[in-house]
């Protein structure tokens, strides 16, 4: 199967070929014909599957080959396609993809999001915009100010719709829907299915085609997942140690709070590890700057709250670290989906303290998989202290039905459902006299 078999125009095929795409991904094989047929679509796609091209390529084809299209507004064409995304970063990324895929077509794209001045956006809207990629809040600001006309939208795409609902955008989405023409094509993309998505789809879509390329809530097989059980106050030291000892570069680290992200950046800086943070309290300029540096490889560590977990495409990102586990188990799947994208392999490491064991249990339940773990027994500044064993999470966890084996003892690895040997070991954190983490010693203890 090639892109030309899917009926896309030569201009589009030329653009994707230049980007190195040789054949469509599974979501593209299904989504492209469905969108070209003109029907509504409900599509579940795991992160990193190529879903952006899955809806953008047929959208570009449809808009560029509509010979009946008439310019009905005064002097310039009206906006014909609207793509809504939950975050500014994703809006920028999708618009950039649409621009690249459509570079040989006579179509204009525009990204619209908050946190930056509205005036340049107003100026752009006075010119020709065919495809608008927007976050809901700023879009409604433009509507309020009378600078945006959505009455000619032919295609609506809700990208990462589940995230938009999680972020409380449902009222904004309803308002935006009320501004669109009744007759239009609707494409709804979600990463994690939920009852909320079901309800949104029921109200929005008209006899949709349904596609789902990956099982719900599963993690990409190309991502090696690992858990380090460690005292909360040792996490920073362990992270710095891993980054240094394993020579990690391009590490995306997730924290639960904005404050935690800022604090970690400072602490890593104290260890001479270059890091920047992106989260909702940072200016858009700072967010864009940090992300650009991280993407082009000139920033070693990017610390992010879940704002960055969805949709961001950083090619061949090798390491994702959960410094804190997310409160919502689905976010774990999205966070680690930043690595192992488009078939590349990656590593996702979670630093889990005892208070997070219930969260770990929820994650394992969601992904239907027990995660291999290593226990990090830390010694305090006093070199004579004994290693502290950290209680085994499997003791807190309901045992699988039918599991008759005796309960396992403390500090041993939980059995993996795959039956592979578990990777339990103990890393002894032995602070050197200066108190830095550089003196960490590893002791490997196989438990069977």
CA dist., res. 361 & res. 371, Å (int): 10
**Min dist. Cβ of residue 19 to ligand AMP (A):** 6
Residue 52 lies near ligand AMP (rule: CB under 6 A): yes
Query: Treating both helix axes as pointing N-terminal to C-terminal, what angle do 170-178 and 136-144 enclose, rounded to 10 degrees?
Result: 40
Shortest CB 25 distance to ligand AMP, Å: 5
Bridge partner residues of 112 (DSSP) = 134
Contact 413, 447 (CB under 8 A): yes
Task: Find the shortest distance in angstroms from Cβ 434 to ligand AMP.
Answer: 43
Beta strand spans in 328-395 (E): 346-352, 373-375
The smaller minimum CB distance to ligand AMP, of residues 50 and 86, is found at 50
Minimum CB separation from ligand AMP for residue 240, in Å? 30
Smallest distance, ligand AMP to C-beta of residue 217, A: 17
Among 341, 370, 412, 431, binds ligand AMP (CB under 6 A): 341
Q: Are the CB atoms for 247 and 391 separated by under 8 Å?
A: no
Query: What stretches of 102-234 show up as alpha helix (H) in DSSP?
Result: 119-126, 136-144, 161-166, 170-178, 195-204
49 binds ligand AMP (CB under 6 A): yes
Closest CA to 148 of 126, 171, 172: 126
* Residue 413: alpha-carbon gap to chain centroid: 29
The site map against ligand AMP for 293-332 (x = CB under 6 A) is --------------------x-x-----------------
CA 333, 337, 340 angle in degrees (round to 5)? 135
Q: Kindly state whether residue 53 participates in binding ligand AMP, applying the rule CB under 6 A.
A: yes
Strands 223-229 and 346-352: parallel
Cβ atoms of 36 and 28 closer than 8 Å:
no
Alpha-carbon span 430 to 340, nearest angstrom: 33
The encoded tokens of residue 25 equal 């991904």
Q: Are strands 131-134 and 81-84 parallel, antiparallel or unpaired?
A: parallel
Query: Of 17-25, 73-81, 262-270, 382-390, which segment contacts ligand AMP by CB under 6 A?
Result: 17-25
- One residue of 8, 13, 15, 24 binding ligand AMP per CB under 6 A: 24
Least separation in angstroms between residue 54's CB and ligand AMP is: 7
Q: 53 is written with which tokens?
A: 């091209």
**Taking CB under 6 A as the rule, does residue 225 contact ligand AMP?**
no
- Count of residues touching ligand AMP (by CB under 6 A): 14
For 341, the token pair is 């994208």
Is 8 or 376 the residue whose CB approaches ligand AMP more closely? 8
Q: Is residue 189 involved in binding ligand AMP (CB under 6 A)?
A: no
Q: Which of 30, 31, 40, 51 binds ligand AMP (CB under 6 A)?
A: 51
Position 102 contacts ligand AMP (CB under 6 A): no
Selected range binding ligand AMP among 43-51, 195-203, 325-333, 421-429, rule: CB under 6 A: 43-51
Closest CA to 426 of 379, 354, 376, 384: 376
Q: Which stretch binds ligand AMP (CB under 6 A): 51-59, 154-162, 355-363, 393-401?
A: 51-59
Cβ closest to ligand AMP, residue 21 vs residue 294: 21
Q: Are 136 and 169 in contact (CB under 8 A)?
A: yes
Which listed range, 45-53, 278-286, 364-372, 432-440, lies at the site for ligand AMP (CB under 6 A)? 45-53
Contact status: 192 vs ligand AMP (CB under 6 A): no
Q: Give the residue with the Cβ less far from ligand AMP, 22 or 117.
A: 22
Which listed residue (8, 13, 15, 21) binds ligand AMP by CB under 6 A? 21
Distance of CA 253 to the CA centre of its chain: 12
Q: Chain centroid to CA 6: how far?
A: 28
3-class secondary-structure state, position 177: helix
Summarize as ranges the residues that interact with ligand AMP (CB under 6 A). 21, 24-25, 28, 48-53, 313, 315, 341-342
């Amino acid at each position: 199967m090639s892109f030309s078999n899917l009926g896309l125009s030569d201009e589009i095929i030329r653009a994707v070929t230049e980007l190195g795409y040789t054949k469509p991904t599974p979501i593209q094989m299904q989504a492209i014909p469905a969108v070209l047929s003109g029907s509504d679509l409900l599509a579940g796609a795991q992160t990193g599957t190529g879903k952006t091209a899955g809806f953008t390529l047929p959208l570009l084809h449809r808009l560029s080959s509509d010979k009946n299209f008439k310019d009905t507004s005064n002097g310039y064409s009206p906006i014909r396609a609207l793509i809504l995304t939950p975050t500014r970063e994703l809006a920028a990324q999708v618009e950039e993809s649409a621009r690249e895929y459509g570079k040989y077509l006579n179509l204009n794209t525009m990204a619209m999001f908050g946190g930056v001045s509205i005036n340049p956006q107003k100026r752009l809207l006075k010119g020709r915009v065919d495809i608008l990629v927007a976050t809901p809040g700023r879009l409604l600001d433009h509507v309020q100010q009378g600078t945006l006309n959505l009455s000619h939208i032919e295609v609506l795409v809700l990208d990462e719709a589940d995230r938009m609902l999680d972020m409380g955008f449902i009222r904004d989405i309803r308002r935006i829907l009320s501004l669109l023409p009744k007759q239009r094509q609707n494409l709804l993309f979600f990463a994690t299915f939920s009852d909320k998505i079901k309800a949104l789809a029921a109200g929005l879509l008209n006899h949709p085609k349904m596609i789902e390329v990956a099982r719900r809530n599963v993690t990409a097989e190309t991502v090696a997942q690992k858990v380090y059980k460690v005292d909360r106050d040792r996490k920073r030291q362990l992270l710095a140690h891993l980054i240094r000892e394993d020579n990690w570069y391009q590490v995306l680290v997730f924290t639960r709070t904005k404050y935690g992200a800022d604090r970690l950046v400072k602490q890593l800086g104290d260890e001479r590890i270059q890091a920047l943070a992106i989260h909702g309290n940072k200016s858009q300029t700072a967010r864009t700057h940090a992300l650009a540096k991280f993407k082009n490889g000139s920033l070693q560590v990017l610390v992010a709250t879940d704002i960055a977990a969805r949709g961001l495409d950083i090619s061949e990102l090798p390491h994702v670290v959960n410094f804190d586990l997310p409160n919502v188990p689905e976010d774990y799947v999205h966070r680690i989906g930043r690595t192992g994208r488009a078939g590349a392999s990656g590593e996702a490491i979670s630093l889990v303290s005892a208070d997070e064991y219930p969260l770990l249990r929820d994650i394992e339940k969601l992904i239907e998989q027990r995660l291999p773990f290593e226990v990090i027994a830390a010694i305090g500044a006093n070199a004579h202290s004994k290693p502290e064993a950290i209680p085994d999470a499997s003791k807190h966890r309901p045992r699988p039905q039918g599991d008759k084996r005796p309960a396992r003892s403390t500090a041993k690895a939980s059995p993996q459902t795959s039956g592979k040997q578990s990777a339990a070991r103990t890393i002894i954190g032995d602070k050197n006299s200066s108190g830095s983490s550089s003196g960490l010693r590893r002791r490997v203890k196989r438990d069977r």
